[in-house]
Amino acid sequence: MTDADRVRRVRGGDRRAIAALIRDLDDDRAGARDVLRALQAPGAADLSQGIPSPGGIVVGITGGPGAGKSSLVDALITHARAHHQRVGVVAVDPSSPRGGGAVLGDRVRMQRHATDEGVFIRSVASRGAPGGLSRSAMDVAAVLLAGSFSRILIETVGVGQSEVEVAAAADVTVVVMTPGLGDDVQTLKAGILEIADVLVLNKADRPGAEAAVRDLQAMLSLRHASASRSALAEAEPGAESASGSASDSRPADVPIVKTVALTGQGVDELVAAIDGVILARTLVPEGQRGRRRAEARIRAVVMARTDAAVRAAFAPGGSGASLADDVAALKLDPETAANVLMTHLRGGY
Ligand SMILES: Nc1nc2c(ncn2[C@@H]2O[C@H](COP(=O)(O)OP(=O)(O)OP(=O)(O)O)[C@@H](O)[C@H]2O)c(=O)[nH]1
Ligand SMILES: [Mg+2]
């Protein structure tokens, strides 16, 4: 089959072609990246290859372990299918193994959608290379978008750098918290509040939900105040004190939605909040739209490639290997060796 055939079949939503391309990308098969590139090429509206999908939305769902992310994804699938949207799900396996064998168990609920033709669920595991996780997750998302799935949901546990990066690479990032924020301290430490476009207080049926919402509001307005202070300070040194009082009275712009994922309560509001983020972005100048995702995607590819190149350099016979010999023999200092290696690598890609 030619690349053009593969592109046409993926664009036509052919599940087998989509699955095969995802598998080939995962295995680093020759030619797979060319197909992905063709699928993503700007202005690639070559009608002989099928019509490119009209811009779907990638939503990252992240939060602490057990916050109810899978249950929310399940509820969002149900919502989307009721509105005749095709949904792709990328479930990111945590890069560090957790106890209890929960990894498969927690997906059981959403798996009931797996026989639905309009739903495509795929797991992605970390390969250990920096950027590798976001690259594979975004690869799958890109193929599904091209395959005319209009909503892509990426579930990732918000603990650890790679996982948080995946969520940040989405068009809209939803951060899931639960009552009793004490349990989520680990998540907050990972800087997860900073990447939230929408905050969800799930398990709102549990005691302490109202208090948790108030805590989140307080945290958001702190974040909001300091963000606008530093933005203003940058633009206009000395304006700091004046902006402080102005921004404190402004509501934080990250919506907080209460949900009970198990019953679907609050899911309509969550979808409205997600759509609201997208709508607000359309008011932003065109060049800025999706910039965060663009940056995260480029960074992921660069990091994955750099990591692979550095590893290869230290294989026997590689340029790094002989530099390592020289440094070990005290013939060369590590800084100089690193400079030499970087110059060498720059020539390589
Ligand atoms: N009471 C209550 N329980 C919930 C709610 N949402 C999820 N749960 C329960 O919380 C537990 C964890 O839910 P999951 O959806 O697997 O959570 P998760 O965030 O995907 O978990 P991991 O992927 O393991 O990090 C399950 O036992 C769910 O039944 C909710 O709104 N209310
Ligand atoms: Mg889960």
| Global pTM exceeds 0.75 | yes
- The Cα diameter of the chain in Å comes to 68
Q: Which helix (H) or strand (E) holds 152?
A: strand 151-157
Q: Helix (H, G, I), strand (E, B), or coil: what is residue 172?
A: strand
Contact 262 CB / ligand 1 (< 6 Å): yes
Contact 103 CB / ligand 1 (< 6 Å): no
Q: Could you list the mean pLDDT of each consecutive 10-residue stretch along the chain, which spans 349 residues?
A: 92 94 91 91 52 70 90 95 94 60 54 86 75 80 92 87 79 90 62 86 94 87 68 52 35 84 96 91 68 76 84 90 94 94 82
Pull the structure tokens for residue 242: 């004046």
15 CA to middle of ligand 1, Å? 29
What is the CB neighbour count within 10 angstroms for residue 21? 26
| Ligand minimally distant from the alpha carbon of residue 206 | 1
Pull the structure tokens for residue 67: 């916050």
State how far Cα 199 lies from the chain centre: 15
* Separation between Cα atoms, residue 102 and residue 85, nearest integer Å: 29
State how far Cα 221 lies from the chain centre: 25
| Ligand minimally distant from the alpha carbon of residue 261 | 1
Query: Is the distance from CB of 170 to CB of 58 less than 8 angstroms?
Result: yes
* Separation between Cα atoms, residue 124 and residue 20, nearest integer Å: 15
Pull the structure tokens for residue 298: 């480029």
Phi, psi of 214 (to 5 degrees): -65, -40
Antiparallel, parallel or unpaired: β 256-258 and 57-63: unpaired
**Among 298, 287, 55, 276, which residue's Cα sits nearest to residue 174?**
276
Using the CB atoms, write b or e for 6-17: b if 16+ within 10 Å: bbbbbbebeeeb
- Classify domain 53-289 at the CATH topology level: Rossmann fold (3.40.50)
- Please give the pLDDT value at position 140: 93
Residue whose CA is closest, atom 3 of ligand 1? 203
* Separation between Cα atoms, residue 45 and residue 82, nearest integer Å: 30
107 CA to middle of ligand 2, Å? 6
Contact 68 CB / ligand 1 (< 6 Å): yes
- Please give the pLDDT value at position 46: 46
- Please give the pLDDT value at position 186: 59
198 CA to middle of ligand 2, Å? 18
**Among 222, 107, 118, 220, which residue's Cα sits nearest to residue 156?**
107
Residue whose CA is closest, atom 30 of ligand 1? 203
- Please give the pLDDT value at position 79: 96
- Please give the pLDDT value at position 98: 47
**Angle, vertex CA 8, rays to CA 6 and CA 10, nearest 5:** 65
Place of tokens 């997860």: 192
Residues in the chain: 349
Instruction: Name the residue ranges covered by the structural domains of the chain.
Output: 1-46, 53-289, 314-348
- Please give the pLDDT value at position 200: 96
